[in-house]
Chains A and B, each alone.
Chain A
């Protein structure tokens, strides 16, 4: 198992364009999380899936953001009509169920909106 992988690692886009990121979790993990991290800050929760069901979304996740996890495997995070304020590192994590279980993080996708 190669851990959580994210693609692409870096994305530069023009303001107003749509972007999509992919996350492949560890195969036996049924929980998948998306976080956003800006410079000098800790990661902030965006959304959470258990299998294919999206069970929680943060207020940070505006209508321009949508996430899917078809068939409970990989997940995609799409940002429509990107804004400069969307520039950040987008992190994906996965875990098994249960209290205190470790979340394994991918290396993230760094988005720059110009």
Chain B
């Protein structure tokens, strides 16, 4: 079945540091890939997405590129801020059709803490 593996956390960085959170996946067909973020006390929000190989999703300075050859979708940001402190989830949605369409399979989440 489908699965998503995220790098072990938590991740602690100083403000303006470079961020990478690794994500690899296993899926049949060509899934859509997502990064969701959960800020303290809030619900899950979509951060960015990519729907086909070599697509780059970007939002709020975060980027991730859909790499089919390495089955990866690593999240990066060049300069993190204290306000980026949150839990980040990598997820996939199978596009194999049928009733599984749109269902999300999540990684375990990575806690990011950014210090001033």
Interface residues of A (CB under 8 A from B): 4, 31, 33, 35, 40-45, 48, 55-56, 91, 93, 95, 97, 99-108
From the candidates B4, B43, B93, name the one contacting A100 in the complex (CB within 8 A). B93
Q: Are B102 and A42 in contact (CB under 8 A)?
A: no
A101 touches B42 (CB 8 A): no
Bound-complex Cα distance A41 to B106 (A): 9
Q: How far is the CA of A19 from the CA of B100 in the complex (A)?
A: 27
Question: In angstroms, how far is the closest chain A Cβ from the Cβ of B24?
Answer: 14
Chain B contacts with A in 16-66, Cβ cutoff 8 A: 32, 36, 42-46, 49, 51
CB nearest neighbor in B for A42: B106
* A45–B42 alpha-carbon span in the complex (Å): 20
In the complex, A99 Cα to B49 Cα: how many Å? Answer: 11
| Residues of B that sit less than 8 Å from A by CB | 4, 32, 36, 42-46, 49, 51, 89, 91, 93, 95, 99-109
B11 CB → nearest A CB, Å: 15
Instruction: Tell me whether A44 and B109 are in contact (CB under 8 A).
Output: no
Whole-angstrom CA separation of A35 from B93 in the bound complex:
14
Q: How far is the CA of A89 from the CA of B100 in the complex (A)?
A: 22
A99 contacts across to B, CB distance below 8 A:
32, 51, 93, 95, 101
